[in-house]
Structure 1
Amino acid sequence: MNDLGKAVVFDVGRVLVQWDLRNLFEKMISDPDELDWFLTNVVTEEWHFQHDRGVALADMVPARIAEFPKYEPHIRAYADRFNETVPGPVAGTHQLVKRLHANKVPLYCLTNFGEEFWEGFRPVYPIFDLFDDIIVSGTEKVAKPDPRIYEITEQRAGRPGSRLFFTDDNPANIAAARSRGWDAHLFTDAETLEAQLAASGFL
């Protein structure tokens, strides 16, 4: 039973679920060198991050096709088959969410995720039913590590940063959270997170 008055905030990609653009495009590009070039120059994580910040696919995709017309089918696949970039859960973290929920710990997600992709992805994983609220960057039109999305999370959770335990795999996002007083922990694996949660009194 949680009597700390604190909540736990999870990142999603690479904390609750695996994510890698390569998982989709290795099905479409057989040459390893071409695949590496494509992921470095065409459908890159940096380009994808625009959608996390709220840029619509209807704006992103045609502009990218105009720049790389040879890869039109691949760029359209990015928009149409995004769930194939998520091969499954991160080992062990869903079990931790279930234990926290059983202990009546308030649970939140703070994720850099495009709104259109989230709509197609969210129903695939029932684990998200256990969360009190999920703050999606694409919906808010602002993404981590911008301080504004941490402020939005504090408002939605009804708690100051000092009452929020946060785990994320990105050091920049952890640093931004700590600057607002969050109890932020860099995610490496479920075993380490379990120890951090236990040390903080949640498990």
Structure 2
Amino acid sequence: MPIDAVIFDIGRVLIDWQPERFFDRVIGPERRRAMFRTVDLYTMNDGIDRGDDFRGAVYGLAEAHPEFADAIRLWHDRWVEMASPHFPASVHLLHALRARGVPVFALTNFGVGSFEVARAAYPFLDDFDRRYISGCLKVMKPEPEIYRIVEEDCGLAPECLLFTDDKPENVAAAAARGWATHLFDGPEGWAARLVQEGLLSPEEAAHAA
């Protein structure tokens, strides 16, 4: 069946997301390694992605680990630096699809508060036809429920959806529901897949080459 909508993940597809790299730069690799061994930062972030208050979750964890409190608070206070840079070639593909009249959705594990910060920094996040944000939905990829919500809301058959994500488990969960999928490993491969599907011409996708 033809593809009726294209769905983008955001982190590591449109915006880079490597907290370890940020902390290596700001507090140094040795202290960063010690902090990540001691403090469960990613579980905290999962809570934010499920709807926990952004500042409250980060500052609460900082209070529980006073030896790393200043550094932990940076997860909130300097979040945009952590979630950067954006990938212009991927943004180009988003805009090229919309210029062709192809509906483009976002399906992302993102907190409510952190997504608002991201929107202010990256205006292209307002360019989707529909956005499915885990923090708003209170469910995350790769849980089947979030994919069902997308299907129910957009009203399109699963096989008419083409989804790209950088995490194999998220792609596999979408494929299990019948979605067309692409494991994102860079904008060049994603551009080639969009051309292969007939959604863009090679010229329209050329910025990503």
Structure 1 length normalisation: TM-score?
0.90
**Aligned-residue offset at 1:66:** 4.0
User: Hey, what's the Cα distance between the residues in 1 that align with 2:76 and 2:188?
Assistant: 34
Give aligned-pair identity as a percent.
Answer: 37
Note the 1:117-136 alignment, pairs <5 A.
117-136=114-133
For 2:23, the aligned partner's letter is F
The residue type equivalent to 1:119 in the other structure is E
2:67 pairs with one of 66, 70, 73 = 70
Question: Residues 7-33 of structure 1: CA distance to partner in whole angstroms, max 9, x if unpaired?
Answer: 000000000111111344234313x22
Of 159, 174, 187, 2:171 maps to 174
Q: Does 1:51 align with 2:48?
A: yes
After the TM superposition, list the runs of 4 or more consecutive aligned residues in structure 1 that deviate by more than 4 angstroms.
Answer: none
Residue 58 of structure 2 is aligned with which of 57, 61, 84? Answer: 61
Please report how far the alpha carbon of residue 75 of structure 1 lies from its aligned counterpart in structure 2 after TM superposition. 1.8
1:2-151 paired onto structure 2 within 5 Å = 4=2, 6-30=4-28, 32-42=29-39, 44-57=41-54, 59-151=56-148
State the shift of 1:155 in Å.
2.2
Letter of the 1:12 partner, please give it: I
- Please say if residues 135 and 153 of structure 1, whose CA atoms lie closer than 8 Å, have aligned partners that are also in contact: yes
When residues 91 and 38 of structure 1 are mapped into structure 2, their CA distance, relative to the original with a 3 A threshold, is farther
SS in 1 for 2:132: strand
Matches within 5 A, 1:190-201: 190-201=187-198
Q: Which runs of 5+ in 1 are unaligned?
A: none
Deviates more, 1:5-14 or 1:79-88: 79-88
CA spacing shift, 1:58–1:193, aligned 2, 3 Å = closer
Aligned-residue CA RMSD (Å): 1.8
Q: Is the 8 A contact 2:3 2:161 kept in 1?
A: no
SS in 2 for 1:26: helix
The 10-residue stretch of structure 1 (75-84 or 189-198) with the greater mean CA deviation from structure 2: 75-84
Contact 1:23 1:86 (8 Å CA) reproduced:
no
Residues 92-120 of structure 1 deviation map (CA, whole Å, 9 limit, x = unaligned)? 11111121111110000000001111111
Query: Unmatched 5+ residue regions in structure 2?
Result: 201-209
Question: What is the total number of aligned residue pairs between the two structures?
Answer: 199
Give the CA deviation at 1:91: 4.9
